[in-house]
A and B are shown apart, each in its own frame.
Chain A
Amino acid sequence: MNKIDRRKFIKSAGLAGGALSLAGAAGAGYSAGADKDSYTGYGRTNYGEDQFFNRKPFIVDNPTYVKKGEPVRITAVEDIFKRNGMLSRLMFSRGDIEPAWKPADGIDALPGQLRDYYKANPGALEEFIKAMEKGRAQRANWEKYRDKYFIADAWSTAHSSPIRGRGAFPAEPRDRPEKSDFRGVNKVKLEPKSPSHASELIKKICYSFGASLAGIAKVKKEWVYQGSLRGVGREDYEVPSHWKYAIVIAVPHEWDSMYANPTYGTSYDAYSKLRFIAGKMEVFVKELGYSSRPHVPPTSYDLVMPPLAIDAGLGEQGRNGILITPELGANTRLAAVTTDMPLEPDKPIDIGVSRFCEKCKICAEECPGGAIDFSDKAETVVRGYKRWKIDQNKCFTIWNSVATSHARGCRVCLSVCPYSRKNNWVHSFAREVDPRDPTGLVASGLLAMQKKFFNYPGGQEYLPPPDGNNRTFGEAPEWMKTDEWFKI
């Protein structure tokens, strides 16, 4: 009798143990998903020891961008912010100065560079005028949405505070690089044991300043702007000989706000972090006795960041034109510090981003402005390199359309990217397995799950009424919901 009871007990306990262990697996899984430690890009220490993807198996000799023809440096007029600034100064009166140009005057009445650009890009001027109209409507409608996005707007404004005006950090250069990059350089200079030692130290310091990722690249001439140099103004120039290396720094946006794009997130949180890191790195390098110059967002750059970051081994360029890193996905924002300190450059990596982007197209499907290329292959040649075409002008129209207090951008293409997922075991497994699969079957399987399982509302939905419904990709965090904290 006793023996039978014992067997029954063991069997019942086994059944209960099996059920409870499955429940425990569910609990552990839930905890891994909800854990804020799994926010992509954030390690448990400043040094990020627990966050790095092992790049070694994916190091390649040549970067993943494809050269086609002769590389050409980007000119100021090709940069949307510089171009729009030039046109705005002509279109809108300032004080007593009358507008120098109005749309009725036509493209031929524009000054040289602008005229050439808009002639070469039919529809771009009309898109800019549309963006201005959308901006006016956005400001007029802001009162309708103000309370809902009150905290988000205040949060963004706070993050933008180190960016503008006289108190901006780092300060804009006020001289030619040959002067400004050497200003404040310590007269005492110690030689590093080797370039490799110097690179390792610089990266450690980057992490201690708060960088999530850091890499070293040689400065290539084709990544340097032409026709516009900070501290000098509009002129053509040769790349300064002391811009030997670039320390490339990456940070992600705050996770919750990034996921709740376009209305609860802006770029300023990552921008302000990058400015502090790059600004401090400028000082650190100068203290070591070498020249340095920070290149920081939103527009204080003399170099184009994504290809520089590809050279530095941080990641690859995606269909959305953004650098995609294994750790942060498309939620990657970049800054750099150019220097003549002898450093050892990192090698580029190939984790198969282009091959994945060829199949995926989620960012193109979800872009509210239709600004991202749907072509299977990256065939558009831009300044001597093949890439997927991004229609900056359409993108800018959406910047001016979404329900924010003023043009604060969109970033839906960052949030929806399948690479922009949390740093937990499920997504880490996908990150590790996919690039090791030569058949592409894993990527196809993951992509099928991504498209069928996750909610993708479609580009239009992110726009304010009547065009859309002010949808966000992810749900806004409770700390950004005004009605949780204020009487509205």
Chain B
Amino acid sequence: MFSNSNILGPLFWIIMGVLYMVFITGLVVWLKDLNIKMNWWKWSLVLLWFILLSIIIAGGFTLIGENEMRAGLLFIAVPGAVMIVAGVALSRFLFRNRHEKQNN
């Protein structure tokens, strides 16, 4: 990455780390405001989903970077569709628990 610079590479990954922390901090506040109670395995599921999504996007763009446009787009589209379905199912599960708690 950034083959002409040995400064930008480390900076990029520092910024990526900050972005992930900002994202997780924001997510914590979102979930609190939505009244969704989280425990360790729910957090694990949410983070696993996000990591897998990141890997699929990175993998697809790796293939695009190799000049394999079709392979890259399909790599994103096919597992990406699965991830969207999984994401909807996960959010419905988290929201359902919230309703159950509210009804109780």
Contact = CB atoms under 8 A, between A and B. Distances in A.
Interface string A1-32: 00000010011111111101110111111111
A26 B18 CA distance: 17
B26 A11 contact: yes
B5 to A, nearest CB: 12
19 contacts: A13-B26, A14-B30, A15-B26, A17-B26, A18-B19, A18-B50, A24-B12, A24-B15, A24-B19, A25-B58, A29-B60, A30-B62, A33-B63, A33-B68, A34-B66, A36-B3, A424-B62, A426-B63, A455-B71
A16 B30 CA distance: 13
A29 B1 CA distance: 9
Interface string A402-442: 00000000000000000000101110000000000000000
Contact of A33 (B16, B50, B65): B65
B22 A14 contact: yes
B40 interface: no
A26 B58 contact: yes
B29 interface: yes
Interface of B: 1-3, 12, 15-16, 18-27, 29-30, 33, 50, 53-55, 57-68, 70-72, 74-75
Nearest to B76: A26
B58 A35 contact: no
Residue among A12, A13, A20, A29 with the most chain B CB within 10 A? A29
Contact of A18 (B26, B33, B55, B61): B26
Interface of A: 7, 10-18, 20-22, 24-37, 422, 424-426, 449, 452-455, 474-475
A50 B1 CA distance: 16
A18 B27 contact: yes
B61 A30 contact: yes
Contact of A14 (B27, B62, B75): B27
A243 B55 CA distance: 50
Nearest to B50: A18
Q: Which 4 A-B pairs have the closest CB atoms?
A: A14-B26, A33-B65, A17-B22, A29-B58
Contacts of B64: 29-30, 33
Contact of B57 (A11, A22, A34): A22
Contacts of A26: 57-58, 60-61
Contacts of B27: 14, 18
Given A24-B19, A32-B65, A475-B67, 17 more contacts: A10-B25, A14-B22, A14-B26, A14-B29, A15-B26, A17-B19, A17-B26, A18-B26, A25-B54, A26-B61, A27-B61, A30-B61, A32-B58, A33-B62, A422-B66, A425-B62, A455-B68
Contacts of A31: 1-2, 65
Contacts of B65: 29-35
Contacts of A453: 63, 68, 70-71, 74-75
B79 to A, nearest CB: 10
Contacts of B68: 33, 453-455
B49 to A, nearest CB: 12
A20 B19 contact: yes
Contact of A32 (B1, B50, B71): B1
A446 to B, nearest CB: 12
Contact of B62 (A12, A17, A21, A29): A29
Contacts of B1: 28, 31-32, 35
Contact of B67 (A11, A15, A36, A474): A474
Contacts of B20: 17, 21
B57 A454 contact: no
Contacts of A10: 25-26, 29
B12 to A, nearest CB: 7
A131 B57 CA distance: 47
A3 B17 CA distance: 26
Contact of A426 (B22, B30, B62): B62
Contacts of B26: 10-15, 17-18
Nearest to B74: A453
A475 B12 CA distance: 30
Contact of A21 (B2, B54, B72): B54
Nearest to A31: B1
Nearest to B20: A21
Which of B1, B54, B66, B67 has the most chain A CB atoms closer than 10 A to its own CB? B66
Contacts of B25: 10, 13-14
Contacts of A32: 1, 58, 62, 65
B29 A454 contact: no
A155 to B, nearest CB: 20
A21 B70 contact: no
Contacts of A34: 65-66
Contacts of B53: 22
Contacts of B60: 26, 29
Question: Considering residues B19, B30, B59, B65, which has the most beta carbons from chain A within 10 angstroms of its beta carbon?
Answer: B65
A426 B70 CA distance: 16
